[in-house]
Structure 1
Amino acid sequence: MTVREADPRSHRGDAEGTGHDLRVLRARWRTASIAAGWRFPSDWGVPEVDEVCLTAVRRGDLSTALAGLGRARAEAGAGLDETLTDLAALHAVLTNAEVRDGLIATDPDAAPTRLVRTAALAWAEASFCELRNAETTENLTNLTTIAYLRTRLGEVYRQAVRLGVPAAETHALLVVTLDLSAVTGWARLMAMVLVADALREIFDGGESIALLGPSVAAVLAERDHDFADRALSAGWLITERLAVDPQLKSTDRPTVRLERLPPTPQTAQTLLQTISRA
Structure 2
Amino acid sequence: MDVSSIGTATRADGRVAGAAPDRASPRPERAAVLRERWFACSSALGWAAAAEWPDPEVEAVCAAATARYDSQAARERAVERALARWAGARASAGVGLAETLTDLAALSTAASGATDTDGSAVVEARASHRGPDGVRLLRAVSLAWTDVACGDIAETAAVDPLSGLASVRYLRTRLAEIYRAARAHGRAAGDDHALVVLALDVRDWRRVVPLSIAGDAAGVVFDAGESLAVVGRGTVVVLAPREGLPERAAVLRRLLTRRLAAAEGIVGSPSVRIARLPATHEGACALLERLRGQEPDPDHT
Shorter-chain TM-score: which interval? Answer: 0.3 to 0.5
Larger helix fraction of residues: 1
Give TM-score, length-normalised by structure 1. 0.48
Give TM-score, length-normalised by structure 2. 0.44
